[in-house]
Amino acid sequence: MTDPTGAPSADPTTAFHQRLIDDAAAAVRGLTVSLGERLGLYRVLAEHGPLTPAELAEHAGVTARYAQEWLHAQLSADYVERHPSSDKYTLPEAHASVLADAGSATYAAGFFTALKALYATEDLLVDAYRTGEGVGWAEHDPALDTGMGSFFQPTYRHRLLPDWLPALEGVTEKLANGGSVADIGCGVGHTTLLIAKAYPRARVYGFDYSEEAVAIARQLADDAGLSERVVFETASADDYPGSGYDLVTFFNCLHDMGDPVAAAQHVHKSLDQDGTWMLVESNVSPADIDTRTPAARMFMSLSAVMCLPVAVAQRGPHALGNHSGEKAFRAIAEEAGFTRWRRATETPVNAVYEVRP
C-alpha cells in the first residue's frame, strides 16, 4: 500500500501495533521514572549536570553500571540529552521543572512512585472485575498515598492559596479571622498543612479513613512545626467529628466514596449555616471519553484501576468513577440539601465548586 506521494505506508494493524509498543515502552519507562525520583537521579542531573554515568553515580550514591543503564533509558525517551564527545548527559531545563523540581507547578515525577501500589493489586483487580467486588484503598501499598499525594501536590501548592480559596465568597476573610476548616479525605495532609500555614489563626482539622495516610500526615505536620495547630484523625466522610465549620474541603475524593450522598449530607450537617463546601474534582466528564487529551487519558485509566474499585469496595449505592462530571456532583449536593452551586474556578485538570446550604 502507498500514499499519494508513492511512499510506502503502514497498514492500520501495523500502525496500531507500533502504538501499542509505544504504550508498553511508556509503561516500563514509568518504573525508571520512579527510580529516578526515589534515588534523586533527576535532581542530581539538574543540579550538577552535564555528568558522565560515573559522575552521576558518585553524586547520587548508586553504582556506575546502573547509572549508565538508567541514562540510556532516559536518552531513548528523550528525557535527557547526551554529548557524544564527552559521554556527558544533561537534563534540559524545561524537563527539570517536570522531573526534578518538586516545587514546580509542573512537577509530575512523584506520580510514578504510586505504580508499585497500582501494579501490585493486579490480581485483586482481576478478581474484582470477575466478581463485581471492589479493591479498597487499604488493600494498596502505602506508596499509593504518597504517590498520589505527590501527583496533586504541585497544583495544590500553586493554586489553592492564590486562586482557589480567594474564588470562594468570603472564605479567606473567615479563615484569617480564626475560622474553622475540616479537610475531608485529606490523605497525607498536603492541603491541610497549606491552609494551616497560610492562616495561623484558623482551626484546621484533617480527616481520612486511611490510618497509613493519617500517620504520614502527622509526621509531616511535626516536620513543618504545625502539629500544635493541626489535628489529624482517622474518620470517614460521613462520620467525621465537629460542627459549625466555616469551610469543609474535599480534594479529588468524593468520586472515590461508595455513598457520596451520605458524605454530602454529613457535610451539610457539619457546616455553619453560612459555611462553604469546597469540592475539588477532576475536570472531566463522560463527554471527555472520546477527547483523548492527556488529562482525560490519565483519569480514564486511573478510574478503571483505582477510583472505581475503591468506591465499589465500600458497598454503597454509588460507584461514580472519576469522570462523572459536574451534573452528577451537583445532583448529589442537591439531594443532600444544598441549594447553592457554583463552578468557582478551574484548571485543565481540576474543577473547583463552591457549594453552600
pLDDT of 8 reads 55
Ramachandran class of 170: left when φ > 0, alpha when ψ lies in -120 to 50, beta otherwise: left
b/e sequence 22-40, b meaning 16+ C-beta within 10 Å: eeeeeeebbebbbbbbebb
Cite the beta strand spans of the chain per DSSP E.
81-83, 88-90, 180-184, 203-208, 230-234, 245-251, 271-282, 340-346, 350-356
Could you say which DSSP state residue 202 is in? S
User: To which residue does cell 492541603 refer?
Assistant: 191
Any residues with CB less than 8 A from the CB of 333 and at least 6 apart, and which? 264, 277, 279, 341, 355
The torsion angles phi and psi of 257, rounded to 5 degrees, stand at -95, 140
pLDDT of 29 reads 96
Tell me the angle at which helices 12-38 and 64-76 cross, rounded to the nearest 10 degrees: 140
Residue 228 Cα distances to 196, 200, 231, angstroms: 11, 11, 8
pLDDT of 349 reads 87
pLDDT of 2 reads 46
pLDDT of 107 reads 95
DSSP 13-52: HHHHHHHHHHHHHHHHHHHHHHHHHHTTHHHHHHHH-SB-
Is-cis flag, bond preceding 348, omega within 30?
no
b/e sequence 286-302, b meaning 16+ C-beta within 10 Å: eebeeeeeebbebbbeb
pLDDT of 323 reads 87
Which amino acid is present at 134?
G
243 burial level (CB within 10 Å; 0-12, 13-18, 19+): exposed
pTM of this prediction?
A: 0.85
Distance, CA of 322 to CA of 73 (rounded, Å): 32
State how far Cα 85 lies from the chain centre: 41
Query: One digit per residue, pLDDT tens: the chain, 357 residues?
Result: 445 555 555 789 999 999 999 999 999 999 999 999 999 999 999 999 999 999 999 999 999 999 999 999 999 999 999 998 999 999 999 999 999 999 999 999 999 999 999 999 999 999 999 999 999 998 999 899 889 888 888 999 999 999 999 999 999 999 999 999 999 999 989 999 999 999 999 999 999 988 988 999 999 999 999 999 999 999 999 999 999 999 999 999 999 999 999 999 999 999 999 999 999 998 988 877 777 788 888 889 999 999 999 999 998 888 888 888 999 999 999 999 999 999 999 998 899 999 999
